[in-house]
Chain A
Amino acid sequence: EADIYQTPRYLVIGTGKKITLECSQTMGHDKMYWYQQDPGMELHLIHYSYGVNSTEKGDLSSESTVSRIRTEHFPLTLESARPSHTSQYLCASSEGPNTQYFGPGTRLTVL
């Protein structure tokens, strides 16, 4: 079934660790996005990509980085996690001017 997948769904790590949040979509969409969201609060765009080898920073300053080597894959990496990174991270994708679909999210806790 065409969908967006995120792993892990939950992650608890210690300060200073490097982590990568995975996002894959099987819908063939060209655009992909990463949002940071505290539960039930605003969606903050942190990174986006319009296609392979295209990545841009979003509106919210973030210490994370992303890559887009394959159309379907858009991982987000934190080189050194801090407690301020504790949040939910949502991946999304869209095709052209059409609807944006969200993944199930990764809930990150940094101790």
Chain B
Amino acid sequence: GENVEQHPSTLSVQEGDSAVIKCTYSDSASNYFPWYKQELGKRPQLIIDIRSNVGEKKDQRIAVTLNKTAKHFSLHITETQPEDSAVYFCAAHNYGQNFVFGPGTRLSVLP
């Protein structure tokens, strides 16, 4: 079955700097890769996603890149702000299977 690894487990950056979180997956049939942000005491919320027929997707300060050959995808946050502090989860999904989540990255943006 699918296995998703996520690194780093914790990340601290200065406000205004960039943050990068990387995930690798094992099942080459996975074709949908969402990223979720979970703030303290709240539900995970989708922030960006990418499908396997696309290599990169951007939404304002957030971007996701996908390398199908290497089976890894990354979340990039530019110009970080204190409100970006949260736990971020990546996931991989293959139609007909369940979502498999990474273990999460705790991002702290220091003022």
Contact = CB atoms under 8 A, between A and B. Distances in A.
Contact of A43 (B42, B46, B101): B101
Interface in A36-84: 39-43, 45, 48, 58
A56 to B, nearest CB: 9
Given A99-B49, A101-B46, A42 B95 contact: no
A35 B32 CA distance: 20
A90 B43 contact: yes
Contacts, number: 46
Contact of B98 (A40, A45, A96, A98): A45
Given A40-B106, A42-B103, A99 B89 contact: no
Contacts of B34: 99-100
A21 to B, nearest CB: 14
A51 to B, nearest CB: 13
Find the residue from B32, B93, B98, B106 having the highest chain A CB count within 10 A. B98
A98 B41 CA distance: 25
- Nearest 8 pairs between A and B by C-beta? A97-B95, A102-B43, A43-B101, A42-B103, A40-B87, A102-B44, A104-B43, A99-B46
Interface of A: 33, 39-43, 45, 48, 58, 90, 94, 96-105
Interface of B: 31-32, 34, 36, 38, 40-46, 49, 87, 89, 91, 93, 95, 98-99, 101, 103-104, 106
20 contacts: A33-B98, A39-B41, A40-B38, A40-B40, A41-B104, A42-B103, A43-B44, A43-B89, A43-B104, A45-B98, A48-B98, A96-B95, A99-B34, A100-B34, A100-B46, A100-B91, A102-B43, A102-B44, A102-B45, A103-B43
